Amino acid sequence: MRCFTGASPVEREPEVRLTAHASYKQWSPQRLRAAGDYCQARILSTAVHLELFEWFGNRIKSASAASNRFGGTPEIWKTFLDALCAMGLLQKRAMSYENSSFILRCLCSGEGLFLRSYHDAWNIWATLPDILTIGKRPKIAEPFFTDSKRSERLLQSLDHDARKIAPYLIDQLPLTRSETLLDVGGGLGSFSIACCRRFSHLRATIVEHPAVAGFTSRAVKKAKIAKRVKVMSVDFMKDALPRGFDVVLMSNVLHGQGAAENRALLKSAYRSLNQGGCIVLRDVLMNRAGTDPDWGALFSVALLLQTPRGRCYRLDEVRDWLDAAGFSDIQGPFPSSPLAFDPDSVLIAEKSRIGKDRGGLRS
């Protein structure tokens, strides 16, 4: 993913902007072979899926021990473990194996959660040729409304990253004088929990789809902040959002729906706000060509496979939707955070007080 450390990459068009990852777009015959070879990706995701690295921990173990733990034969496991050694993920000592220092530092400390959701989506990518040639996309979003176990793993992965992003994002939010926050599609409540912990006067309400709200409630209860963070089970693409909030936050919600649905959702968000309140949108915002950020262009292909109408939208599209919904004083985009894995940008817009001047939103 891209690391946005300066102005948002969608503020200027490619022809007048220096590309941070120009080398990423440069190809060679060697890179072509590497990009077309999914062998290493499949080996790694399978090891993560089986929780193999956690099983090794700090201990040295044999192929026979792996066979006893996971099934299969020692011969098969020797071949698989040797491949992980060749990739530098395991180290071999005589006829036994142990985690590399990198694995102990990263994958065994929770940093590799995202790889589990990648593994879950593996079979879906096999449908890409059919999507392109037949044009038939999923009728409902994958995996949130189709598989509760995969949905929970994806939510945990997103929560792990969101906890790191939250301190940077909160610094940009107008919460110093706000009392109520509506978090639309808030997942496991990562941002609402972090905001309420930062601002003792704040109360948050998370609205999540009924298929997800149970996970949200458990996460809020585990965080021991349920008295200040309320969870509502709402299909916000069909039902109206609750009203009476100073701030509405939508983080990575827009890319899951079609344009018409997003226009309706932003109008519903406008009605949810008190006069003088504001909406905060966090998402991958594309340039007019739809090719930058490059991660967003690739992610849009994944959304072809996993949603009925979702994609990453252009900055100018989202600005137009905000304007049509009645918002004013649109500010941004700002980088969501300086973290390398975070490609998102932030827009903030106001529901202005009638007859009053609009001041700056960031506080």
Mean pLDDT of 284-305: 95
Is the pLDDT at 9 greater than 90, yes or no?
A: no
- At 115 the pLDDT is 86
- At 35 the pLDDT is 82
d(C-alpha 261, C-alpha 253), whole Å: 11
- At 24 the pLDDT is 63
Q: Please name every residue paired with 97 in a beta bridge, in sequence order, or none if there are none.
A: 61, 92
**What are the structural domain ranges in the chain?**
50-111, 148-350
Residue, of 112 and 53, whose pLDDT is higher: 53
Give me the sign of the Cα torsion angle 233, 236, 242, 247: positive
Residue 21 binned pLDDT confidence (cut-offs 50, 70, 90): low
Mean pLDDT for the chain? 89
- At 106 the pLDDT is 86
Cβ distance 114 to 72 under 8 Å? no
148-350: CATH class? alpha beta
d(C-alpha 116, C-alpha 147), whole Å: 14
Is the domain covering 50-111 a CATH 3.10.25.10 domain?
A: no
- At 30 the pLDDT is 85
pTM equals: 0.86
User: Residue 40's Cα: distance from chain center in Å?
Assistant: 24
Is the pLDDT at 144 greater than 60, yes or no?
A: yes
Is the pLDDT at 16 greater than 70, yes or no?
A: no
Task: Please check whether the two domains, 50-111 and 148-350, share a CATH topology.
Answer: no
Residues in the chain: 363
The pair of three-digit structure tokens given for residue 254, joined into one six-digit string? 């827009």
Query: Sheet holding 245-251: strands in order across?
Result: 229-233, 203-208, 180-184, 245-251, 273-283, 345-350, 328-335
Long-range contact set of residues 115-118: C-beta below 8 Å, sequence gap at least 24? 115/44, 115/45, 115/48, 116/48, 116/49, 116/153, 116/157, 117/150, 117/153, 117/154, 117/157, 118/45
Is the pLDDT at 145 greater than 90, yes or no?
A: no
The beta-strand segments (E) located in 86-235 are: 90-93, 96-99, 180-184, 203-208, 229-233
Mean pLDDT of 147-160: 92
d(C-alpha 307, C-alpha 240), whole Å: 22
DSSP state of 95: T
CA-CA distances (angstroms) from residue 180 to 156, 253, 265, 298?
25, 20, 19, 36
For the stretch 73-118, pLDDT in tens is 999 999 999 999 999 999 999 999 999 999 998 887 777 778 888 8
For the stretch 260-287, pLDDT in tens is 999 999 999 999 999 999 999 999 999 9
Residue 358 binned pLDDT confidence (cut-offs 50, 70, 90): very low
H and E: helices and strands count for the chain = 15, 10
Is the pLDDT at 361 greater than 50, yes or no?
A: no
